[in-house]
Structure 1
Amino acid sequence: MKYALLHMAPKPEANAKQVRRRSGWILLLILPYLGLCFPKVYARSLPVLWGFPFFYWYQFAWVIAASLLLAIVYKKLKT
């Protein structure tokens, strides 16, 4: 049993350094925060879209946009 457990774990290299990746793609995740951070900008009723006041459809548009941005950042950082 011990033999199997010892040989299942990957062996670290002697001089392996952990590399921390920094990427500008992560900065895209700030956009939804900034877009919703200041309600004075979008706290109004006009323009109306399909009967919904601006306040509601603006926030819902950010839900969709944030999901797309997360998908883009995930795919770019995955590689």
Structure 2
Amino acid sequence: MGGGGWFHVPEVWSPAGGWWATPKNWKVNTGLGFVAIGVACFCTFTISASKERRPIPPAWHIPSQRWAVHAKADDPSL
């Protein structure tokens, strides 16, 4: 009834790091990856909000009109 013990694993090189790999800076690398994804999402959101146009005013309020650049020009009821 034991927990633990030694597992015999072969000495095999792997590009993923092998068995039970823990790279040196995995926390920093993970944080940088999340920051890069956040920056890409922010840039996509900014470009999308600046290009959004509604030539025909919608019948009801649409949440994206709060941050759209041309919302007041496209929908006079705002």
Query: What TM bracket, shorter-length normalisation?
Result: 0.3 to 0.5
**Which structure would you say has the larger RCO, counting Cα contacts within 8 Å and 6 or more residues apart?**
1
TM-score normalised by length of structure 1? 0.34
TM-score normalised by length of structure 2? 0.35
Higher share in helix: 1
User: Which has more radius of gyration?
Assistant: 2
